[in-house]
Chains A and B, each alone.
Chain A
Amino acid sequence: MKRFYTEFPDVSMEFVEKHWKLLFFLILLSGFVLRLFFYYVEPVLNRDSMFYIEILNSWAKHGSFNGVLLDFPDLWIPPLFCAMVHYLTLTGLSIEHAGILLSMLSGMVLIPLTYGIAAIFTDRKTICLAAALLSAVHPELVEFSSIFLRDPFYLAFSSGSIFLILRYLKFKSCVPLIGAAVLASLAGNTRFEALEILCIFAFACGFLFIRKEISWKKAMVDASIFCAVFLLFFLLIHPFLGTTYFYHVVWGRVVLYLERFTRFFSLF
């Protein structure tokens, strides 16, 4: 009997394998329709959305994100999402609609990304399309994509980064690694939890070395490239976005997470 780790299970169907492009398009379309429908039935801003709207109104009032600190002295959230919504509003969209548009686009990107992640493990289109279909109808992904939150934006970047890390694991090439680091830094500039991608990369690199799939020299070079590109984009994007206040915030969050981890280990 075959095992999926030696040869992937053959559940493929001839019709699906033959017409996968059409089916993928239909999945994308159904995902889009579901998200639009959900926005139609629940077109309401939630409590967290109000926080972003207040920040964006303050940005518009002061003319710069650093000026937002006058209204929100304890502001700690990474600014990429707000910055993107702000720049979208310059096209004439309202803050609310710009935020929803960004959420919906990011949510839609997750469908091909799920397909891509599955395709790293198998070339069976049936399995990849099944994964894409489930990401098109997943209740939380649909909900996230139709509300004004930074979650779908962050999910798109972090899933993209994980996709490229998996490609690195498969092909051991540096090219996807650079892309993974760029996307991880963008995800980190949207939500701090995305910093876990650094750990995921460390596992990937470490296990490749432990299993002797790459040499220690390559492991060191790859780790250096990933960390350098990540740090470069994570920190140097802010002068371009006009959000240099974020440098003060980063250190504060590092200290906070260290405290939380200490508290967790003190439970044992």
Chain B
Amino acid sequence: MKILLDIIIKKIPGTLFEPFMILSLIAGAYFLFAAWKTKRAIFLTVSVTLFFMYFWRIGIQIVSGRYAAMLIVPAIVLSVFLIAAVAEYFSWKKSKQLFFCFGIFALTIASIGKLCLFNRTADYIPYNCKKLQEDRLKYYDSAVYSIHMGSDNRRLEYYLKQKIIPLDAEKDTIVSPEIAVKFIREMKTTSYIFLKERGTGGRINAAALGLSEEKWQFISSRYRNNKHRSSLSVYRYSPEGYRSSH
């Protein structure tokens, strides 16, 4: 039941955008009423199809909201029709037009508003990879590790243009200093480490790991999204302390 609620409340509205989902469902019911009144197949098909498209997605328990993408265009058209149909209940022509314009304007502003919430740090992987490559000029023989990065390892390799050594790659979680130090102890050469940490980057510092500043260096970090709850960070670990390969 929890999964079904997640699909109905989060996944489908997340893709359709909540105002369009609500308006399209009301419009679907209105089309059903129109089909009953006029006996026309086109209205019956539109309403039955809409509800069918919603229900089979809930039925097979879609794993991603993207599976509901096909509903977007019908939802947009039905939302516009509903606004036009409600506008019809105003008696003056000017008031009908004003209501319709206001409805479309509100939906447009809401859509652009949601677009403005784009992820301002979406480039957190390319950014950190670039910083690593810049620092790596001094340590060309170093290895690159990632801890608990899950499927993000593919993106790291793509942007880094080299193989990385994933540690515990099945997990895709925030790394604590205790977990980090467990893996770091195994590293015998100068290594770069990608990991996700809570909040601002650089918190897994030398003091938190019980290492000297020479051995553990913070390279770069960037928030993963606008919520600023976690960051992707890169550190350099030099078992023998600071030394350049040159």
Contacts and interface: CB of A to CB of B under 8 A. Distances in A.
A196 B38 contact: no
A163 B93 CA distance: 30
A131 B41 contact: no
Interface residues of B, number: 67
A50 interface: yes
Interface in B50-106: 52-53, 56, 59-61, 66-67, 69-70, 72-74, 76-77, 79-81, 83-85, 87-89, 93, 96-97, 99-101, 104
B96 A155 contact: no
A151 B115 CA distance: 18
A202 to B, nearest CB: 10
A123 interface: no
Interface stretch (B150-158, B179-187, B234-242): B150-158
Given A4-B84, A138-B17, A140-B15, A114 B73 contact: yes
The A interface is mostly helix, strand or loop, or mixed, namely: helix
Nearest to B100: A11
Interface string B113-131: 0110011101101100000
Nearest to B115: A139
B189 interface: no
B88 A169 contact: no
Overall SS of chain B's interface:
helix
A1 B88 contact: yes
Contacts of A4: 34, 81, 84-85, 88
Contacts of B15: 140
Most buried by A among B77, B80, B120, B126: B77
Nearest to A199: B52
Contact of B115 (A38, A53, A166, A208): A38
A145 B166 CA distance: 32
Contact of A162 (B61, B73, B108, B154): B73
B206 to A, nearest CB: 31
A45 B167 CA distance: 22
Given A50-B154, A208-B41, 8 more contacts: A38-B118, A133-B108, A134-B107, A139-B114, A140-B16, A169-B45, A196-B52, A204-B41
Interface of A: 1-6, 8-11, 13, 34, 38, 41-45, 47, 50-51, 53-54, 110, 113-114, 117-118, 121, 124, 126-127, 130-131, 133-135, 137-144, 149, 151, 154-155, 158-159, 162, 166, 169-170, 193-194, 196, 199-200, 203-204, 207-208, 210-211, 213, 257, 260-261, 264
13 contacts: A1-B88, A2-B88, A3-B88, A5-B43, A38-B118, A51-B154, A127-B81, A131-B77, A134-B107, A166-B46, A196-B52, A200-B45, A264-B59
Interface of B: 15-17, 20, 31, 34, 37-46, 48-49, 52-53, 56, 59-61, 66-67, 69-70, 72-74, 76-77, 79-81, 83-85, 87-89, 93, 96-97, 99-101, 104, 107-108, 111-112, 114-115, 118-120, 122-123, 125-126, 151-152, 154-155, 158
